[in-house]
Structure 1
């Protein structure tokens, strides 16, 4: 038996008036999910423990079977693992986003326009981060390049401060959300002076792209320690994601990461490449479990784009799920497929919420016969409910 998770990050949503009161999942053209849902267990799962922030960090830890209340030490340390940063017990990791701020006002009065700087390429971002590094790096603060707009700052003898995620305050004046630590606040403000007129940003503005004109620090945490996934579940697993957070969770759990060319966390990511990598890992390379993470729906939710979020869901359906199912069926290998988001990213709020999310669990050896479709409303009506998300992995492996 092989096991597959297809996770559409932030895919769940709320009913939207312009969609006739439907959610993006319910509205999207998802022929493969429509077909599979009639053969599958459909229900709701609560991935965010009560009292915890609804981040992709806590949510994906939960989906992968790690109780966030036990294992979570902060988001950025997980990303640091992915980048290969050798953290000490005395160090604190922080996410260093390259963001787009408005340009006319004094720094504290600027508005955050874009948390991803127009989904900036890693190539452009690396050049900009190097400029920041030359000016601001020291024995106490070290910068590391990640992927796209997502980078890392390591703070020697640092503090785990409460910091605000930029995607939580889009369109708002930043002053009240800046770090209270004087040095971090100064570094964030200084980064704007370094980046605002950088040739990369001048060119981006000429091309009609958002400039990456400031660093934004958030997600502080200490060195994590995860139990080995293989020891925990007796399955050899692989992660397929463009996002450092997911790669870091996998690295911390002793899973392998497969890097897919063209996978970038955006709407134009290499969907087929991710699906192909998963199938090859399962059928040719001896893996038992593949986790395919697709960031696009979450990014479109943060952007507030209904139509682009729908398109991301349709791409996951037609270019990932359909391919995986067809290839696995053709192989004759029995498999169980779990499809779900990690958390909702509603268009209304453009950030994460802690509401339960719909899941679909298909077993090729024991197809069911029901009438449910895969969406939030019908999954809730099914009566299937998993209150603790970290138990979902055991449910997947229960065959």
Structure 2
């Protein structure tokens, strides 16, 4: 038996008036998922433990079968694993977003317009980060380039502090969310002076793109320790994702990490390349593959309803369809699970802790039901996984 998990990050949502009360999942044209749903188990799962923040870090740990209450030590340390940054026991790792602030004169009165600076390219971001390193890097503070707007700071012998994710405060004045640890607020304010009129950003504005005109620190944590996935579940696993967080989780879990050319973490990622990579690794040396697509989440944060629906349709057309067709033709026994990690509702442009719909299809044991794959039918089905981290074992071993 082979196991495929396809995760549309942030795909779940709430009923939208513009869609006559439908959610993006319901409004999207998904013939492949619709066909599977009638032969699958459909249900709801709580991926976020009560009292924990609904981040992609906790949610994806949960979906992968790791209890966040036991394994979560912060988001940035997981990304550090992906970038290859060694962490010591007393190091604190922080995410460094390159964000877009408005042009209000006083820094504390500025608002976050875009948490991703129009999804700035890694090539542009690396140039900006070099100038920030020259200004701020010391023995205590080391900067590392990641992907697109997502970067890293390691604070030697630091302490854990509370920071606010930038996508949680889009459109809000940043003053009350600045760190009480003065050095970080000072670096952020100084970064605006360095970046706002940087040649890279001047060119971006000319092209109609948002400038990456400030750093934003968040996601602090300590060195993570994960039980190897194969040891935990008895199957060899692989990860396909364009996002450092997911690659870092996989590295920590000693899973195989596959690089797909053109995988960007945006709406325009290489969907066929991800599907092919999943099929290749399943037919080669792995029993389980986790195919992560970031696009629905990014569209949710942008408040872009049209593109969020498009992202879901592309997952159906270019990921689900080709994988199912190929495995069926190859006469390979397989189970496929499809779900989001958390909702990212268009109305609020950030994550929530609401349960998300899941679909589990077993090619050797098809069921017959009348439920479609959606938030509403997931609830109507009566199938409910209260502890999200238990869903992986249920999927693999039931």
Shared topology, TM-score over 0.5?
yes
3-state SS of the aligned residue for 1:159? coil
3-state SS of the aligned residue for 1:217? strand
TM-score w.r.t. length of structure 2: 0.99
The answer to whether residue 75 in structure 2 is matched with residue 75 in structure 1 is yes
Alignment of 1:1-399 (within 5 A): 1-283=1-283, 285-399=284-398
3-state SS of the aligned residue for 2:126? helix
3-state SS of the aligned residue for 1:329? helix
Q: Could you tell which deviates more after superposition, 99-108 or 33-42?
A: 99-108
**Alpha-carbon distance in 2 for matches of 1:323, 1:137:** 47
**Alpha-carbon distance in 2 for matches of 1:3, 1:244:** 23
1:48-107 C-alpha deviation (Å, 9 max, x unpaired): 000100000000000000000000000000000110000000100000000000123211
3-state SS of the aligned residue for 1:82? helix
1:242-281 C-alpha deviation (Å, 9 max, x unpaired): 0000000000001111111111111101111111100000
Q: Could you tell which deviates more after superposition, 97-106 or 66-75?
A: 97-106
Structure 1 unaligned spans of 5+: none
**Alpha-carbon distance in 2 for matches of 1:315, 1:105:** 42
3-state SS of the aligned residue for 1:373? coil
**Alpha-carbon distance in 2 for matches of 1:268, 1:178:** 33
Moved over 6 A (4+): none
1:177-222 C-alpha deviation (Å, 9 max, x unpaired): 1111111111111111111111111100111100000000000000
**Alpha-carbon distance in 2 for matches of 1:334, 1:386:** 25
3-state SS of the aligned residue for 2:223? coil
1:99-133 C-alpha deviation (Å, 9 max, x unpaired): 00012321111110000000111111111111111
Give the C-alpha shift of residue 159 in structure 1. 1.4
Alignment length (residue pairs): 398
3-state SS of the aligned residue for 2:360? strand
3-state SS of the aligned residue for 1:152? strand
Give the C-alpha shift of residue 327 in structure 1. 1.2
**Alpha-carbon distance in 2 for matches of 1:198, 1:62:** 40
Structure 2 unaligned spans of 5+: none
**Alpha-carbon distance in 2 for matches of 1:64, 1:104:** 42
**Alpha-carbon distance in 1 for matches of 2:355, 2:105:** 40
**Alpha-carbon distance in 2 for matches of 1:231, 1:110:** 48
3-state SS of the aligned residue for 1:397? helix
**Alpha-carbon distance in 2 for matches of 1:20, 1:398:** 39
**Alpha-carbon distance in 1 for matches of 2:104, 2:51:** 38
**Alpha-carbon distance in 2 for matches of 1:103, 1:328:** 53
**Alpha-carbon distance in 2 for matches of 1:180, 1:169:** 17
Give the C-alpha shift of residue 369 in structure 1. 1.0
1:341-390 C-alpha deviation (Å, 9 max, x unpaired): 00000111110000000000000111111111000001100000000000
3-state SS of the aligned residue for 1:34? helix
